[in-house]
Amino acid sequence: MAGLLREAMAAGAYGFSLSLARQHIGYHGRPLASRLASREELGALARVLRSAGRGVIQMNLPRDQQGLITDESYETLVYVARESQRPVTWTPFVYVAGSPKDLAERLQARIEPALRSGLRIATQSACRPIKLYINLREPFMFATFPSWKAAFNRSREEQLALFRSPAFRQAFREEIERGLGVVFSGRWERVDVARVGREENRRFLNKTIPELAAMVNKDPVDAMLDLAIEENLETGFRLAAGNMDLDLVSKVVGMPNILVGLSDAGAHVDQLCDAGMPTYLLQEWVHKRHVITLEQAVRRLTSEPADFFGFSNKGRIAAGMDADLVLFDPDGVRLCPQEWTNDLPGGRPRIIERAEGFAYTMVGGQIIFDHNQHQGVLPGRII
């Protein structure tokens, strides 16, 4: 692995990423390989970047039920940062149901010793509420529940049979009571019906699962599963996954050692879209709420991440810097409603997010978007 990483870095890669989080599973619910990596393996990979003298490391680390990284996660973070002597960022920092109001302050206190020692570490956080869309063909939000392992990478017929099973349903209820969830923690009021396929079920749209349960006189587990089965598992559900209290999120916007941004780098494209996060920062926290100034917001989106990741030719307007520029109207930026489009291979769906108020986007001095219209050029290159 270290040899492959060394070759990749020589070919233009800028580091590596991995997940240690329980919700990230592979075929038939098995843990992703990175979750099984030993401390020695992580150290060997980290030292490749140390030898290269460049690059970053990104990790998805386990958190406790309140949203703070665990002691074991913190020790792993410090170890990898020390072995690599490179910037290390981890995801996600997010306020979840049950998070204390001083969660951000607790995080700062947790990482302060590492920062004082000179290690370069920073978490990433969304600057807005996080909502996750799923259907039960790919039930990611239930991935940490043992009863759901048999639902992944199965045929539709196998899934329907599993979801009809009284034993499966009872096991799921018991696991919720035991607190085995990570993405979904048992708070049914945070899940609602986002899409339905049958006209007679439109009355359930935007209803929370407890509201749905009351309408059909069932408990939440039966109500959700029965609706999905009735629609051949095409029903869409939406989970309010975190950052729902904007008063708490406002702390994140200006706090040091928290990078604004959280996108999963192309994963879960049919479950969430964070392309509009910069627009949300400008629209909500600058123009509407005046939590930070325009200049501070621009710095949060440009020079701060560039400096952390070590892109010395990006993030500022100056002679000799890359001419990657965005021209926008500070008073006119607006995020548009999310849309579904079926433009992936095989006609698979993804969520996209458009914005208004942006005149030009330039990469390397070339205009690639002119008032939201792509200009047919692709001047970007491997960093």
Residue 173's H or E segment, with its range, is helix 166-177
d(CA 250, CA 103): 12
pLDDT tens digits, residue range 165-219? 999 999 999 999 999 998 999 999 999 999 999 999 999 999 999 999 999 999 9
d(CA 246, CA 240): 13
3-state secondary structure of 335: strand
d(CA 213, CA 134): 19
Residue 131 β-bridge partners: 240
28-32, 230-234, 254-258: which has the highest mean pLDDT? 230-234
Nearest to 63 by CA among 115, 100, 29, 16: 100
Q: What is the mean pLDDT of the chain?
A: 94
d(CA 37, CA 59): 12
pLDDT tens digits, residue range 154-167? 999 999 999 999 99
The residue ranges of every structural domain in the chain are: 1-125, 132-242, 263-383
Q: Which two tokens stand for residue 281?
A: 């920062």
Of all residues in the chain, what percent carry a pLDDT higher than 90?
Answer: 85
DSSP conformation letters of 239-293: EEEE---HHHHHHHHT-TTEEE---GGGTTTTT---TTHHHHIIIIIIIIS-SS-
Q: Examine the pLDDT at 263 and tell me if it is beyond 80.
A: no
Q: Examine the pLDDT at 23 and tell me if it is beyond 90.
A: no
Of all residues in the chain, what percent carry a pLDDT higher than 70?
Answer: 99
Q: Examine the pLDDT at 71 and tell me if it is beyond 90.
A: yes
| pTM of the complete model | 0.90
CA distances from residue 229 to 172, 193, 322 in whole angstroms, order as listed: 16, 14, 53
Domain 1-125 fold: TIM Barrel (3.20.20)
Nearest to 297 by CA among 282, 317, 276, 315: 282
| Mean pLDDT, residues 231-236 | 96
Q: Which two tokens stand for residue 2?
A: 């270290």
Are the beta carbons of 129 and 243 closer than 8 angstroms? yes
**CA dihedral for 181, 43, 113, 261, sign (positive or negative):** negative
Q: Name the E strands within the chain.
A: 15-19, 56-60, 88-91, 121-125, 130-134, 191-195, 236-242, 258-260, 325-328, 334-335, 339-341, 350-352, 355-356, 358-363, 366-370, 373-374
Q: Examine the pLDDT at 266 and tell me if it is beyond 80.
A: no
